[in-house]
Amino acid sequence: LAKTTQPISMDSYEGQEVNITCSHNNIATNDYITWYQQFPSQGPRFIIQGYKTKVTNEVASLFIPADRKSSTLSLPRVSLSDTAVYYCLVGDIASGGSYIPTFGRGTSLIVHP
Amino acid sequence: NAGVTQTPKFRVLKTGQSMTLLCAQDMNHEYMYWYRQDPGMGLRLIHYSVGEGTTAKGEVPDGYNVSRLKKQNFLLGLESAAPSQTSVYFCASSYTMGLAGLSYEQYFGPGTRLTVT
């Protein structure tokens, strides 16, 4: 099973870089790693995805080591508005044998002034 | 474009009552999903659909049924609601479903908060 493990919570301060790591020891060979952001009372929002090495977009960077058993979401210079829950997502095998998206339990990031 | 919409936004049911949650998307996506979110549990997949007329079970399908009669709509039904089904329900849609190395970029609706007393 490609279950994911993330820290439950993290604290940071405005202007700092935040790194959130997700473990996915049994990730499938052809699976992507995807990260989502969720604010209270809203649905999750796609942030970034990658397969290997490093991916960067206007919001974040994603670092994936060669063995792909973990990934690290990096948020540069966070602000108060980055306070949210962050989820990593990989695939997993459902009881019926199909391959389904599986969210981790999420990391609650609180950014302090 | 409205993206993904869900109705209703809130609902209170008594144990044993039935209801249907409606999800609609205007992005012409093939794949649609229903999740439930409980405190500390993240999002868990209930059922999903890979196209019009098809549905499949996710991680926690018991007590729920779904239908995808039209490509743009995905309905989630509770035939006999139980207090354990008190949760926030999210619908999502995507172009692909993470198979064969494809991405899991999903677009989510705003959620339905359901309370069963």
- For the stretch A58-81, pLDDT in tens is 999 999 999 999 999 999 999 999
- What pLDDT is recorded for position B102? 57
Q: How deeply is B70 buried, as exposed, middle or buried, from its count of CB atoms within 10 A (0-12, 13-18, 19+)?
A: exposed
Q: B105 and A89: CB-CB below 8 Å?
A: no
**Nearest residue to A62 via CA among A92, A21, A103:** A21
Which residue from A41, A49, A104 is facing B105, i.e. has the nearest CB? Answer: A49
Say yes or no to pLDDT of B103 above 70: no
- What pLDDT is recorded for position B100? 52
What's the rounded mean pLDDT across residues A30-42? Answer: 91
- What pLDDT is recorded for position A32? 87
Q: How confident is the model at residue B59 (pLDDT cuts 50, 70, 90)?
A: confident
Q: How confident is the model at residue B114 (pLDDT cuts 50, 70, 90)?
A: very high
Q: How deeply is B53 buried, as exposed, middle or buried, from its count of CB atoms within 10 A (0-12, 13-18, 19+)?
A: exposed
Percent of chain A scored above 90 by pLDDT? Answer: 69
Among A38-52, A65-79, A93-107, B92-106, the minimum mean pLDDT is found in B92-106
Under 8 Å CB pairs connecting chains A and B tally to 79
Best to test chain A binding among B29, B43, B62 (most A CBs inside 10 Å): B43
What's the rounded mean pLDDT across residues A8-26? Answer: 96
Question: What letter would DSSP give residue B72?
Answer: T
